[in-house]
Amino acid sequence: MEEQALKAKKGGKKEFVGIVKSDRMHKTIVVAVETKTLHPLYKKYVTRTKKVKAHDEHNDAKTGDRVRVIECRPVSKEKCWKLREIVERAR
């Protein structure tokens, strides 16, 4: 409980879990992050997909892996996320 309070107080960084869609770029992966949001009029849950580019320093992640990315300072024009861990490898 105290950790969460401290993290919120210091302005904790956002984290997402998503699936790697592309690993063709050098030290960069494209991660598709899915979120479910409630539609305001129809009251049904809608799946929204957002693609983010993340920095992968050691080129560890491959297409199909489930990964956790964390917000960081801008590395390039479109990269402001960093690979934190590989949650599950693709089969």
- pLDDT averaged per 10 residues in sequence order, the chain, 91 residues: 50 92 97 97 97 97 97 96 97 88
Each domain of the chain, given as residue ranges in start order, spans: 13-88
b/e per residue 7-35 (b: at least 16 CB within 10 A): eeeeeeeeebebbbeebeeeebbbbeeee
Quick one: pLDDT at residue 12? 87
Quick one: pLDDT at residue 1? 47
Quick one: pLDDT at residue 9? 54
Domain spanning 13-88: which CATH class is it, in words?
mainly beta
